[in-house]
Amino acid sequence: MSRIAPAEPPYQPAIAKALNRIMPPGVEPLALFRTMARSPRVFDKMFAGGLLDKGPLSLRQREIVIDRTTARLGCEYEWGVHIAFFAAKVGFGEAEIAATVAGPPDAACWSAPEQALVALVDDLVDQRTIAEDTWTALAAHFDEAQILEAIALTGYYHTISFLCRGLSLPLETWSARFPAPAPAGRRQDPRTPSPHPPASRPTP
């Protein structure tokens, strides 16, 4: 159970409008969104800072950064939502899904540019900086705008992971679960998922 109970309808008009915009018709807003709605200020600021619109990275590259960040931070909630909605769309098979959770940056399922993105996330999570060899690899494959986007994505989903884990959000019934083995000491309690996520996607 979440440490802060998610808001229930009727929502404040501005929040209701935002939820209607970001959620597919007929799909209940994510527990994360409804919990953030307890603070209209936080809700507004978080969505204003979102990076899920079309940016300089491809959709697949963006999801690699998001999935690796949330997995490395043990945030099964957000990782599972993104895997459920985006994994098939960006061509992730079982190997790629597992490699977002565990395994080295140079896992064989990733291309050289993708390996550089995974290494970026790992450096920022583990060292709070970017190693010179990681930067060299990034610069060989990405321009400055793309690198800045990747760093910002990592930071944004670091915050999202703090929210989800700090609030002990219950997992969505339809979202993906960490494959075994999960990061030691960082996995949230597993729950039985629905085999069918909602037909469309929100924009967490």
Q: Is the domain 59-166 a CATH 3.40.250.10 member?
A: no
Q: What is the pLDDT of residue 12?
A: 92
Q: Are 95 and 186 in contact (CB under 8 A)?
A: no
Model pLDDT, residue 25: 82
> Does pLDDT of 193 surpass 60?
no
Quick: pLDDT tens for 116-128: 999 999 999 999 9
- The pLDDT, as a whole number, for residue 195 is 43
Dump pLDDT digits (tens) for 143-174.
999 999 999 999 999 999 999 999 999 999 99
Rounded to whole angstroms, how far apart are CA atoms 32 and 171? 10
- Residue-level pLDDT at 48: 78
pLDDT computed for residue 185 by the predictor: 45
How high is the mean pLDDT of the chain? 89
CA 157 to chain centre: 6
Start-end of CATH 1.20.1290.10 domains in the chain: 59-166
Report the Cα–Cα distance between both ends of the chain, in Å, rounded: 20
